[in-house]
A and B are shown apart, each in its own frame.
Chain A
Amino acid sequence: KAGVTQTPRYLIKTRGQQVTLSCSPISGHRSVSWYQQTPGQGLQFLFEYFSETQRNKGNFPGRFSGRQFSNSRSEMNVSTLELGDSALYLCASSLKQDSPLHFGNGTRLTVT
């Protein structure tokens, strides 16, 4: 069974631009969560989608948005990029609540 796939692996963007990251969950997993990881703030929860609906949301500004498609694939978008958005963005899928998360290898975003 293929694991969680995140694309692209690396991204370099300029302040003010926008970016879209993609995540393909494990087949059969309907829940997809997104996290931001930085050395200073650790692992911060962005949002979780289940069956195309946002089920939970972290404390991030509205510049961070996401969506989930009918095939459970998910995208997250960050608009008006800031230097502080430089981070490793991780996607994870799970079968249901009360079950482990399966993470992708992340997208490393650098904002210059």
Chain B
Amino acid sequence: SQQGEEDPQALSIQEGENATMNCSYKTSINNLQWYRQNSGRGLVHLILIRSNEREKHSGRLRVTLDTSKKSSSLLITASRAADTASYFCATEKASNYQLIWGAGTKLIIKP
């Protein structure tokens, strides 16, 4: 079974609104990564946050990591139609460096 679990499974918002997705995991990690996938294509890396970091920003993206709660959130501010995609979190296990993937959040931005 996968360690990472994202919620919500699907999210539909109006263009311009903020979108928040969450990811939970179970074991100690080296890092947590967020990826975006447009329909039928490969995944694109967004942000990598290490276990000793609490927050990271990249443009309109903000990622937080709470290792005590074993959870992370991805915030996309001022959403655009082009942000419509599936978003996945992946955790690198500290024990063996294996990446464990969540099932993804499908984000739809309505114009």
**Stretch with Cβ within 8 A of A (4 or more), from B10-18, B63-71, B72-80, B92-100:** B92-100
Residue of B nearest to A33 (CB): B99
Q: From the candidates B31, B43, B90, name the one contacting A90 in the complex (CB within 8 A).
A: B43
How big is the A interface, by class? 20 to 34
B54 at the interface (CB under 8 A from A): no
Q: A43-B101, A45-B98, A45-B101 are in contact. Are A98 and B30 (CB under 8 A)?
A: yes
Contact B43 A45 (CB under 8 A): no
B92 and A42 form a contact (CB under 8 A): no
Task: Establish whether residues A106 and B41, one from each chain, have CB atoms under 8 Å apart when the complex forms.
Answer: yes
> Are the C-beta atoms of B98 and A42 separated by less than 8 Å?
no
Contact with A along B45-63 (1 / 0, CB 8 A): 1001010000000000000
A33 to B97, CA, bound (A): 13
Complex Cα gap A43–B33 (Å): 14
Contact indicator A101/B99 (Cβ below 8 Å): yes
Which residues of A are found within 8 Å of B87, using beta-carbon distances? none
Contact of B97 among A98, A101, A102, A103 (CB under 8 A): A98
Q: What B residues does A92 contact at CB under 8 A?
A: 42-43
* Nearest neighbor of A57 in chain B, beta-carbon distance: B98
Judge whether A100 and B42 touch: CB under 8 Å: no
The reply on B103 being an interface residue by CB < 8 A is: yes
A42 touches B103 (CB 8 A): yes
A101-B43 in contact given A42-B103, A43-B101, A45-B98 (Cβ < 8 Å): yes
Q: Is the CB of A43 within 8 A of B88?
A: yes
**CB-CB nearest in chain A for B42:** A103
A70 contacts which chain B residues (CB < 8 A)? Answer: none
Known contacts A42-B103, A43-B104, A92-B42, then 6 further A-B pairs from the complex at CB < 8 Å, ordered by chain A residue: A4-B42, A88-B40, A98-B31, A100-B45, A101-B43, A103-B35
Kindly list the 3 A-B residue pairs having the minimum CB-CB distance in the complex, ordered from nearest.
A103-B42, A100-B45, A97-B97
